[in-house]
Structures are given as structure tokens and as C-alpha cells.
Amino acid sequence: MKKVAVLSFAVAALVIAGAPAYAGCDSCKLAQTEDGWCDGCKVGFFDDVAIKSKKLFDAVAGKKVDPQAMKCPSCVKAAKQDSACDQCGVAFAGGKAYKSKVAQTLALGKAAQPDKLACSMCQKNSKDQGWCDNCKVGLVGNRAFKNKQAYTRAAAARKVLLAAAKTAETCPNCAVAMVSDGTCSACKVSFKDGKKVSDKSKDDK
């Protein structure tokens, strides 16, 4: 009997060792549900993607906006429709402004609580991404999309975000450029839809 207890303790310790450092942190748990940053662990979350670079996190984080305080008429319209203002380079979703189109595309989804999903297929999808034909809903991280087109766009956006979170470990500027179709002046590369675009190849296309 004693042996069993020791063994299960060893297994539990092994599981904990394999989990990320923030797994037991309450402030991280909260950050995971509301796309926040945990100061203690120096990690942020967006659509359940862990982001260790504050620079990248700030680039994807949304800012609450007050439509009445907006000066740009095109922004006011875009905020109402959850679309983008091309003049100002911001996109809106759910009352927040995003500089990153990748972030806005994901933010258009409805917050889903993966552990409360009744359908096992949807539960599986929420671990990464996937469409459930039974429920007619696509899950992308902890966001749900009822429109298949919006789901497909969000699924692609999350892939870019995952790649950017990885890239941030080597160059945070490149990571920011990846999520906002920008340029990293240090590495002299530009990105479009998360992919590198070299200026020379532009003429070939």
C-alpha cells in the first residue's frame, strides 16, 4: 500500500516538472482568461498562447476605447462594426482597439471556457484549433467562431501568433513585425501575413 503512495507521488512530481513554470500561478490563470500579463512570471497570454516577450505582448494587447472620445470618423464607424480604420492603422473588436490585425482577427471570437464545453470534439479543438460539424462552431484557442470563414481566418492568425511567440525569443522586433505586417529594421526583413517578404522578390510576383 505504501509503495503505491510513493509511486503516485513520483508520478505527480513528474507531471509538475513537465508543466510550464506558470502552471500553478493564480495571476497567470487570470491572465490566460483575459489576455493579460503576469508581472511575477513575466509572461502574457493572448488566445491561450503564452508570450514571454513584453514587447510582443504589448503589440497584440487590445486597448479599451471610448467611441465618444474618438476624433477620427472612420475609427468611430470601424469601432461600431468591428472592422479596421486604414487611415489610423487600427482594427476594432468588442470595444477594444488593436494595432495588430492578427490580434483583432482572434479577438472577434467569443470567449469560450474550454473546461465547460459539453462536446468532446469542441474540447479537443480548444486545445489548439478545429471546426466541429456537430456544433457548427470552430474553436481557436479559447475563442469560439460560429462563422466558418471567420474561424478559418482566426485559425491562420493563431498560427502566426504561435510562430511570433517563438520568434520573439530571438528577435522581439521581428515578432512584432510578424503580427502587424511590419518591418524589423535590425534584421531588415518585412512580414506579410506572418511570412517573410523580401523586397527584391516583389518584382518577380
Identify which of residues 3 and 166 has a Cβ nearer to Zn ion in the complex: 166
Closest CA to 63 of 27, 109, 107: 107
Rg of the Cα atoms in the chain = 20
Residue closer to Zn ion by CB (options 157, 172) is 172
CA-to-CA distance for 136 and 110, rounded, in angstroms? Answer: 14
Which of 43, 60, 132 has its CA nearest to residue 98?
60
Beta sheet of 143-145, edge-to-edge order: 110-111, 143-145, 137-140, 129-132
Minimum distance from residue 79 beta carbon to Zn ion (Å): 9
**Shortest approach of Zn ion to residue 69 CB, angstroms?**
13
Q: How far is the CB of 188 from Zn ion (least distance, A)?
A: 8
As to burial, measured by CB atoms within 10 angstroms (0-12 exposed, 13-18 middle, 19+ buried), residue 170 is: exposed
Q: How far is the CB of 204 from Zn ion (least distance, A)?
A: 23
Q: Which residue lies nearer to Zn ion by CB, 121 or 156?
A: 121
| Residue ranges that bind Zn ion, judged by CB under 5 A | 22, 25, 27-28, 38, 40-41, 72, 74-75, 85, 87-88, 119, 121-122, 132, 134-135, 171, 173-174, 184, 186-187
Q: Decide whether 11 or 195 has the Cβ nearer to Zn ion.
A: 195
* Closest to Zn ion by CB, 27 or 147: 27
DSSP 89: T
